[in-house]
Amino acid sequence: MKPHTAFTGFLGKRMHLGISGSIAAYKGLDLLRMFKDSGADVGVTLTDSAQQFITPLSYEALGASPVFSKMYPVGDDVFGHLMPGEACHAFVIAPASATTLSRLANGLADDMLSCQALAFPEKLVIAPAMNPRMWHNAAAQENVEKLRRRGHVIVEPGCGRTACMEEGQGRLAPVEDIYLHGLRAMSPQDMAGQTVMITLGPTREKWDGVRFWSNPSSGTMGASFAVAAWLRGADVHAICGAGTPELPSAITRHDVTSAAEMYQAADSLWKDMSIGVFTAAVADYAPVPFGDSKFKKGGDDLTVSFTRTVDILKTLGNAKRDDQRVIGFAAETDNIHENVKKKLAAKNADIVVGNNVAKSGSGFGSATNEVCIVDRNGRQEDWPVAPKPEVAWRVFDWLLQL
Protein backbone atom coordinates (compact mmCIF):
# COMPACT_ATOMS: atom_id res chain seq x y z
CA MET A 1 0.00 0.00 0.00
CA LYS A 2 1.30 3.47 -0.84
CA PRO A 3 2.03 5.85 2.07
CA HIS A 4 -0.62 8.38 0.98
CA THR A 5 -3.40 5.77 0.90
CA ALA A 6 -2.63 4.04 4.21
CA PHE A 7 -5.60 5.43 6.17
CA THR A 8 -6.06 3.86 9.59
CA GLY A 9 -9.00 5.73 11.12
CA PHE A 10 -11.74 3.18 10.43
CA LEU A 11 -11.82 1.43 13.80
CA GLY A 12 -15.44 0.66 14.62
CA LYS A 13 -16.42 0.42 10.95
CA ARG A 14 -17.52 -2.84 9.37
CA MET A 15 -16.98 -3.84 5.75
CA HIS A 16 -18.48 -6.80 3.92
CA LEU A 17 -16.58 -8.29 1.01
CA GLY A 18 -18.24 -10.43 -1.66
CA ILE A 19 -16.16 -12.78 -3.82
CA SER A 20 -17.58 -14.36 -6.97
CA GLY A 21 -16.19 -16.84 -9.50
CA SER A 22 -13.06 -15.51 -11.22
CA ILE A 23 -9.37 -16.26 -11.25
CA ALA A 24 -9.08 -12.82 -9.62
CA ALA A 25 -10.77 -14.23 -6.49
CA TYR A 26 -7.36 -14.60 -4.84
CA LYS A 27 -6.93 -10.80 -4.93
CA GLY A 28 -9.71 -10.58 -2.38
CA LEU A 29 -7.12 -11.68 0.19
CA ASP A 30 -5.14 -8.49 -0.49
CA LEU A 31 -8.32 -6.45 -0.18
CA LEU A 32 -9.09 -8.12 3.12
CA ARG A 33 -5.63 -7.24 4.46
CA MET A 34 -5.98 -3.61 3.34
CA PHE A 35 -9.39 -3.16 4.94
CA LYS A 36 -8.15 -4.83 8.13
CA ASP A 37 -5.14 -2.50 8.18
CA SER A 38 -7.52 0.48 7.98
CA GLY A 39 -9.01 -0.64 11.30
CA ALA A 40 -12.27 -2.00 9.90
CA ASP A 41 -13.81 -5.36 10.76
CA VAL A 42 -14.42 -7.44 7.63
CA GLY A 43 -16.88 -10.20 6.81
CA VAL A 44 -16.75 -12.22 3.59
CA THR A 45 -19.16 -14.13 1.39
CA LEU A 46 -17.92 -16.51 -1.32
CA THR A 47 -20.17 -17.85 -4.05
CA ASP A 48 -20.02 -21.53 -5.01
CA SER A 49 -18.04 -20.57 -8.11
CA ALA A 50 -15.58 -18.49 -6.08
CA GLN A 51 -14.84 -21.54 -3.97
CA GLN A 52 -13.59 -23.32 -7.06
CA PHE A 53 -10.70 -20.81 -7.01
CA ILE A 54 -10.14 -20.15 -3.29
CA THR A 55 -11.41 -21.59 -0.02
CA PRO A 56 -13.30 -19.90 2.82
CA LEU A 57 -10.52 -21.03 5.16
CA SER A 58 -8.09 -18.66 3.38
CA TYR A 59 -10.22 -15.70 4.42
CA GLU A 60 -10.84 -17.04 7.91
CA ALA A 61 -7.09 -17.47 8.39
CA LEU A 62 -6.56 -13.76 7.65
CA GLY A 63 -9.14 -12.65 10.19
CA ALA A 64 -12.38 -12.34 8.22
CA SER A 65 -15.45 -12.92 10.37
CA PRO A 66 -18.03 -14.10 9.66
CA VAL A 67 -17.30 -15.97 6.43
CA PHE A 68 -20.35 -17.20 4.49
CA SER A 69 -20.01 -20.02 1.98
CA LYS A 70 -23.54 -21.45 1.73
CA MET A 71 -27.03 -20.17 1.09
CA TYR A 72 -28.42 -22.17 3.98
CA PRO A 73 -25.89 -22.17 6.84
CA VAL A 74 -25.75 -24.93 9.40
CA GLY A 75 -26.69 -23.86 12.94
CA ASP A 76 -28.64 -21.00 14.44
CA ASP A 77 -27.60 -18.21 12.04
CA VAL A 78 -30.64 -18.43 9.77
CA PHE A 79 -30.59 -14.70 9.05
CA GLY A 80 -27.06 -14.44 7.70
CA HIS A 81 -28.47 -13.07 4.44
CA LEU A 82 -29.51 -9.93 6.37
CA MET A 83 -26.27 -9.39 8.32
CA PRO A 84 -24.44 -6.97 5.97
CA GLY A 85 -27.49 -4.76 5.64
CA GLU A 86 -27.92 -4.59 9.41
CA ALA A 87 -24.30 -4.32 10.56
CA CYS A 88 -22.04 -3.08 7.76
CA HIS A 89 -21.10 0.41 6.62
CA ALA A 90 -19.98 -0.71 3.16
CA PHE A 91 -20.34 -3.68 0.82
CA VAL A 92 -17.68 -4.37 -1.82
CA ILE A 93 -18.06 -7.13 -4.43
CA ALA A 94 -14.71 -7.88 -6.04
CA PRO A 95 -14.39 -9.68 -8.31
CA ALA A 96 -17.93 -9.52 -9.67
CA SER A 97 -18.46 -12.11 -12.41
CA ALA A 98 -20.89 -11.69 -15.31
CA THR A 99 -23.32 -13.99 -13.50
CA THR A 100 -23.11 -11.90 -10.32
CA LEU A 101 -23.66 -8.69 -12.30
CA SER A 102 -26.79 -10.23 -13.81
CA ARG A 103 -28.08 -11.31 -10.41
CA LEU A 104 -27.50 -7.85 -8.93
CA ALA A 105 -29.00 -5.98 -11.87
CA ASN A 106 -32.13 -8.11 -12.02
CA GLY A 107 -32.83 -8.46 -8.32
CA LEU A 108 -32.21 -12.19 -8.09
CA ALA A 109 -31.53 -13.70 -4.67
CA ASP A 110 -30.70 -17.31 -5.41
CA ASP A 111 -27.38 -17.48 -3.57
CA MET A 112 -26.07 -15.97 -0.32
CA LEU A 113 -24.12 -13.13 -1.96
CA SER A 114 -26.99 -11.89 -4.14
CA CYS A 115 -29.40 -12.25 -1.21
CA GLN A 116 -27.14 -10.15 1.03
CA ALA A 117 -26.67 -7.54 -1.70
CA LEU A 118 -30.42 -7.26 -2.27
CA ALA A 119 -30.94 -6.67 1.46
CA PHE A 120 -28.17 -4.05 1.68
CA PRO A 121 -29.80 -0.59 1.82
CA GLU A 122 -26.80 1.50 0.71
CA LYS A 123 -24.91 1.67 -2.56
CA LEU A 124 -22.67 -1.26 -3.45
CA VAL A 125 -19.09 -1.00 -4.69
CA ILE A 126 -18.81 -3.45 -7.59
CA ALA A 127 -15.57 -4.39 -9.35
CA PRO A 128 -16.27 -6.64 -12.36
CA ALA A 129 -13.72 -9.08 -13.80
CA MET A 130 -14.21 -11.29 -16.85
CA ASN A 131 -13.09 -12.06 -20.39
CA PRO A 132 -12.97 -8.87 -22.56
CA ARG A 133 -15.62 -10.18 -24.97
CA MET A 134 -17.91 -10.98 -22.05
CA TRP A 135 -17.38 -7.50 -20.60
CA HIS A 136 -18.25 -5.80 -23.90
CA ASN A 137 -21.28 -7.97 -24.54
CA ALA A 138 -24.45 -5.87 -24.73
CA ALA A 139 -26.14 -7.87 -21.96
CA ALA A 140 -23.26 -7.27 -19.52
CA GLN A 141 -23.14 -3.57 -20.38
CA GLU A 142 -26.90 -3.23 -19.87
CA ASN A 143 -26.54 -4.80 -16.44
CA VAL A 144 -23.73 -2.40 -15.56
CA GLU A 145 -25.79 0.61 -16.64
CA LYS A 146 -28.77 -0.59 -14.59
CA LEU A 147 -26.57 -0.77 -11.52
CA ARG A 148 -25.09 2.67 -12.18
CA ARG A 149 -28.54 4.22 -12.54
CA ARG A 150 -29.43 2.84 -9.11
CA GLY A 151 -26.46 4.68 -7.63
CA HIS A 152 -24.08 1.76 -7.22
CA VAL A 153 -20.35 2.40 -7.79
CA ILE A 154 -18.77 0.46 -10.65
CA VAL A 155 -14.98 0.19 -10.47
CA GLU A 156 -14.38 -0.58 -14.13
CA PRO A 157 -12.07 -3.40 -15.19
CA GLY A 158 -8.57 -2.58 -16.31
CA CYS A 159 -7.04 -3.20 -19.72
CA GLY A 160 -4.33 -5.69 -20.54
CA ARG A 161 -3.81 -9.42 -20.84
CA THR A 162 -6.38 -11.53 -19.03
CA ALA A 163 -6.00 -15.06 -17.64
CA CYS A 164 -7.31 -16.51 -20.90
CA MET A 165 -4.43 -14.72 -22.68
CA GLU A 166 -6.72 -12.29 -24.50
CA GLU A 167 -5.89 -8.58 -24.60
CA GLY A 168 -8.52 -5.98 -23.76
CA GLN A 169 -10.65 -4.59 -20.97
CA GLY A 170 -11.83 -7.15 -18.46
CA ARG A 171 -9.18 -7.80 -15.84
CA LEU A 172 -9.94 -6.77 -12.26
CA ALA A 173 -9.17 -3.12 -11.50
CA PRO A 174 -6.07 -2.48 -9.38
CA VAL A 175 -6.72 -3.69 -5.85
CA GLU A 176 -5.76 -0.31 -4.35
CA ASP A 177 -8.44 1.44 -6.46
CA ILE A 178 -11.08 -0.95 -5.15
CA TYR A 179 -9.80 -0.51 -1.60
CA LEU A 180 -10.10 3.30 -1.87
CA HIS A 181 -13.65 3.09 -3.19
CA GLY A 182 -14.45 0.83 -0.23
CA LEU A 183 -12.95 3.35 2.19
CA ARG A 184 -14.97 6.13 0.55
CA ALA A 185 -18.15 4.13 1.10
CA MET A 186 -17.27 3.92 4.82
CA SER A 187 -16.22 7.58 5.15
CA PRO A 188 -18.39 10.47 6.33
CA GLN A 189 -19.40 12.51 3.30
CA ASP A 190 -18.97 15.74 5.25
CA MET A 191 -17.06 17.40 2.40
CA ALA A 192 -19.66 16.61 -0.28
CA GLY A 193 -20.32 19.73 -2.34
CA GLN A 194 -16.88 21.17 -1.56
CA THR A 195 -14.42 21.88 -4.36
CA VAL A 196 -10.88 21.43 -3.11
CA MET A 197 -7.66 22.50 -4.82
CA ILE A 198 -4.38 21.03 -3.56
CA THR A 199 -0.86 21.91 -4.64
CA LEU A 200 1.72 19.20 -3.97
CA GLY A 201 5.25 18.13 -4.60
CA PRO A 202 8.27 20.16 -5.68
CA THR A 203 8.69 22.63 -8.50
CA ARG A 204 11.66 22.43 -10.84
CA GLU A 205 13.17 25.63 -12.16
CA LYS A 206 15.12 24.99 -15.34
CA TRP A 207 18.62 26.40 -15.69
CA ASP A 208 20.14 24.73 -18.76
CA GLY A 209 19.30 21.81 -21.02
CA VAL A 210 19.89 19.20 -18.28
CA ARG A 211 19.91 20.97 -14.90
CA PHE A 212 17.27 22.49 -12.65
CA TRP A 213 16.83 24.03 -9.19
CA SER A 214 14.49 22.05 -6.91
CA ASN A 215 14.05 20.30 -3.54
CA PRO A 216 13.45 16.71 -2.35
CA SER A 217 9.69 16.96 -1.71
CA SER A 218 7.87 13.73 -2.62
CA GLY A 219 4.32 15.11 -2.59
CA THR A 220 3.18 12.47 -0.08
CA MET A 221 1.61 15.03 2.29
CA GLY A 222 -0.34 16.72 -0.48
CA ALA A 223 -1.40 13.39 -1.96
CA SER A 224 -2.71 12.39 1.48
CA PHE A 225 -4.82 15.56 1.56
CA ALA A 226 -6.11 14.90 -1.96
CA VAL A 227 -7.18 11.34 -1.14
CA ALA A 228 -8.65 12.35 2.24
CA ALA A 229 -10.79 15.07 0.63
CA TRP A 230 -12.00 12.66 -2.07
CA LEU A 231 -12.82 9.96 0.49
CA ARG A 232 -14.95 12.51 2.34
CA GLY A 233 -16.95 13.40 -0.79
CA ALA A 234 -15.19 16.48 -2.18
CA ASP A 235 -14.53 17.28 -5.83
CA VAL A 236 -10.73 17.44 -5.84
CA HIS A 237 -8.24 19.11 -8.18
CA ALA A 238 -4.58 18.26 -7.53
CA ILE A 239 -1.86 20.47 -9.04
CA CYS A 240 1.09 18.10 -9.05
CA GLY A 241 4.77 18.91 -9.27
CA ALA A 242 7.28 16.50 -10.74
CA GLY A 243 7.49 13.01 -9.25
CA THR A 244 4.33 13.21 -7.16
CA PRO A 245 2.39 10.02 -6.36
CA GLU A 246 -0.34 8.38 -8.40
CA LEU A 247 -3.84 9.47 -7.37
CA PRO A 248 -7.31 7.91 -7.78
CA SER A 249 -8.72 8.52 -11.25
CA ALA A 250 -11.68 10.39 -9.74
CA ILE A 251 -9.27 13.16 -8.65
CA THR A 252 -8.60 15.68 -11.42
CA ARG A 253 -4.86 15.89 -11.84
CA HIS A 254 -2.98 18.87 -13.30
CA ASP A 255 0.71 18.10 -13.86
CA VAL A 256 3.12 21.04 -13.82
CA THR A 257 6.87 21.54 -13.57
CA SER A 258 7.84 25.10 -12.63
CA ALA A 259 6.57 27.55 -10.02
CA ALA A 260 5.19 29.71 -12.82
CA GLU A 261 3.22 26.78 -14.23
CA MET A 262 1.92 25.86 -10.77
CA TYR A 263 0.78 29.43 -10.15
CA GLN A 264 -0.91 29.63 -13.54
CA ALA A 265 -2.81 26.39 -12.91
CA ALA A 266 -3.78 27.37 -9.36
CA ASP A 267 -4.83 30.90 -10.35
CA SER A 268 -7.08 29.59 -13.13
CA LEU A 269 -8.82 27.14 -10.76
CA TRP A 270 -9.02 29.18 -7.56
CA LYS A 271 -12.15 31.18 -8.39
CA ASP A 272 -14.17 27.94 -8.58
CA MET A 273 -12.76 26.40 -5.39
CA SER A 274 -14.11 26.49 -1.84
CA ILE A 275 -10.93 25.17 -0.16
CA GLY A 276 -7.28 25.56 -1.09
CA VAL A 277 -4.60 23.35 0.46
CA PHE A 278 -1.12 24.60 -0.38
CA THR A 279 1.32 21.82 0.51
CA ALA A 280 3.66 22.17 -2.49
CA ALA A 281 7.32 22.94 -1.87
CA VAL A 282 7.48 25.79 -4.36
CA ALA A 283 10.91 27.16 -5.24
CA ASP A 284 11.06 30.74 -3.94
CA TYR A 285 13.67 31.63 -6.55
CA ALA A 286 14.41 30.43 -10.07
CA PRO A 287 17.79 30.61 -11.80
CA VAL A 288 18.15 32.97 -14.72
CA PRO A 289 18.18 30.42 -17.57
CA PHE A 290 21.42 29.67 -19.32
CA GLY A 291 19.49 28.29 -22.31
CA ASP A 292 18.39 25.01 -23.84
CA SER A 293 21.90 23.68 -24.42
CA LYS A 294 24.02 22.04 -21.75
CA PHE A 295 26.39 24.37 -19.88
CA LYS A 296 29.99 23.22 -20.28
CA LYS A 297 32.32 23.54 -17.34
CA GLY A 298 35.18 25.97 -17.79
CA GLY A 299 36.82 27.89 -14.97
CA ASP A 300 36.88 27.01 -11.29
CA ASP A 301 33.92 29.14 -10.21
CA LEU A 302 30.37 29.57 -11.43
CA THR A 303 27.93 32.31 -10.57
CA VAL A 304 24.21 31.81 -11.17
CA SER A 305 21.71 34.64 -10.80
CA PHE A 306 18.20 34.03 -9.45
CA THR A 307 14.88 35.81 -9.75
CA ARG A 308 11.93 35.72 -7.33
CA THR A 309 9.02 33.44 -8.20
CA VAL A 310 5.37 34.19 -7.47
CA ASP A 311 4.34 33.47 -3.87
CA ILE A 312 1.35 31.27 -4.73
CA LEU A 313 -0.03 30.91 -1.21
CA LYS A 314 0.27 34.63 -0.43
CA THR A 315 -1.16 35.76 -3.76
CA LEU A 316 -4.19 33.48 -3.72
CA GLY A 317 -4.64 33.66 0.05
CA ASN A 318 -4.92 37.44 -0.08
CA ALA A 319 -7.36 37.16 -2.99
CA LYS A 320 -9.68 34.69 -1.26
CA ARG A 321 -13.37 35.44 -0.87
CA ASP A 322 -15.29 35.13 2.38
CA ASP A 323 -16.64 31.76 1.25
CA GLN A 324 -13.16 30.35 0.57
CA ARG A 325 -10.78 28.78 3.08
CA VAL A 326 -7.03 28.32 2.89
CA ILE A 327 -4.68 25.80 4.49
CA GLY A 328 -0.99 26.61 4.12
CA PHE A 329 2.15 24.66 4.93
CA ALA A 330 5.40 25.94 6.38
CA ALA A 331 8.46 23.74 5.88
CA GLU A 332 10.94 24.99 8.47
CA THR A 333 14.27 24.03 10.04
CA ASP A 334 14.06 26.22 13.18
CA ASN A 335 11.78 28.66 15.06
CA ILE A 336 8.78 26.72 13.80
CA HIS A 337 6.12 28.22 16.08
CA GLU A 338 7.21 31.77 15.38
CA ASN A 339 7.43 31.21 11.62
CA VAL A 340 4.05 29.47 11.44
CA LYS A 341 2.34 32.40 13.16
CA LYS A 342 4.02 34.88 10.83
CA LYS A 343 2.98 32.87 7.80
CA LEU A 344 -0.63 32.66 8.98
CA ALA A 345 -0.88 36.46 9.00
CA ALA A 346 1.20 37.15 5.90
CA LYS A 347 -0.62 34.65 3.71
CA ASN A 348 -4.16 35.39 4.98
CA ALA A 349 -4.62 31.67 5.69
CA ASP A 350 -7.21 30.04 7.92
CA ILE A 351 -4.81 27.32 9.07
CA VAL A 352 -1.06 26.95 8.73
CA VAL A 353 0.64 23.62 9.35
CA GLY A 354 4.35 23.75 10.14
CA ASN A 355 6.86 20.95 10.25
CA ASN A 356 10.59 20.61 10.83
CA VAL A 357 11.91 19.18 7.58
CA ALA A 358 15.33 18.63 9.14
CA LYS A 359 13.90 16.20 11.69
CA SER A 360 13.68 12.48 11.02
CA GLY A 361 10.09 11.34 10.45
CA SER A 362 8.93 14.85 9.65
CA GLY A 363 10.82 15.84 6.53
CA PHE A 364 10.68 15.46 2.79
CA GLY A 365 10.01 11.95 1.52
CA SER A 366 8.85 10.64 4.88
CA ALA A 367 5.63 8.64 5.31
CA THR A 368 5.03 10.45 8.62
CA ASN A 369 4.90 14.02 9.87
CA GLU A 370 5.25 15.86 13.17
CA VAL A 371 3.46 19.18 12.94
CA CYS A 372 2.58 22.42 14.68
CA ILE A 373 -0.81 23.91 13.70
CA VAL A 374 -2.17 27.43 14.22
CA ASP A 375 -5.54 28.74 13.04
CA ARG A 376 -6.98 32.21 12.41
CA ASN A 377 -8.62 32.23 15.88
CA GLY A 378 -5.30 31.76 17.64
CA ARG A 379 -5.73 28.10 18.52
CA GLN A 380 -2.43 26.24 18.44
CA GLU A 381 -1.54 22.57 18.82
CA ASP A 382 1.56 20.40 18.48
CA TRP A 383 0.93 16.91 17.13
CA PRO A 384 3.33 13.99 17.61
CA VAL A 385 4.66 11.93 14.73
CA ALA A 386 1.79 10.33 12.80
CA PRO A 387 1.22 8.91 9.30
CA LYS A 388 0.59 11.67 6.78
CA PRO A 389 -2.92 10.38 5.88
CA GLU A 390 -3.88 10.71 9.56
CA VAL A 391 -2.47 14.25 9.68
CA ALA A 392 -4.45 15.22 6.56
CA TRP A 393 -7.68 13.74 7.94
CA ARG A 394 -7.31 15.56 11.28
CA VAL A 395 -6.50 18.88 9.62
CA PHE A 396 -9.72 18.62 7.59
CA ASP A 397 -11.59 17.80 10.83
CA TRP A 398 -10.16 21.01 12.28
CA LEU A 399 -11.04 23.10 9.22
CA LEU A 400 -14.65 21.88 9.14
CA GLN A 401 -15.08 22.93 12.78
CA LEU A 402 -13.40 26.33 12.32
CATH entry 3.40.50.10300 includes domain 195-401: yes
Region class of 291: left (phi > 0), else alpha (psi between -120 and 50), else beta: left
What's the pTM value of the predicted model, to 2 decimals? 0.94
Concatenate the DSSP letters of all residues of 240-290 into one string: E-TTPPP--TTSEEEE--SHHHHHHHHHHHHTT-SEEEE--B--SEEEPP-
Residue 96: name the closest of 15, 151, 152 by CA.
Answer: 152
Active site residues: 164
285 contacts 304 by C-beta, under 8 angstroms: no
The stretch 164-174 carries a mean pLDDT of 89
Mind listing the pLDDT tens digit for each residue in 98-128?
A: 999 999 999 999 999 999 999 999 999 999 9
Mean pLDDT of 287-301: 89
The gap from C-alpha 398 to its chain's centroid, in whole angstroms, comes to 19
Would you place residue 74 in the very low, low, confident or very high pLDDT band (cuts 50, 70, 90)? low
**The pLDDT value given to residue 358:** 86
In this prediction, residue 73 carries a pLDDT of 67
Average pLDDT (191-206) is: 97
- pLDDT value for 183: 98
% of the chain surpassing 90 pLDDT: 88
Is-same-fold flag (3-186; 195-401)? yes
Compute, in degrees rounded to 10, the torsion defined by CA atoms 94, 100, 106, 110.
Answer: -120
Residue 113: name the closest of 92, 131, 88, 86 by CA. Answer: 92
For 37-53, write each residue's pLDDT tens digit.
999 999 999 999 999 99
| Range in 54-63, 140-149, 208-217, 293-302 the model is least confident about | 293-302
> Domain limits of the chain?
3-186, 195-401
- What CATH code is assigned to 3-186? 3.40.50.1950
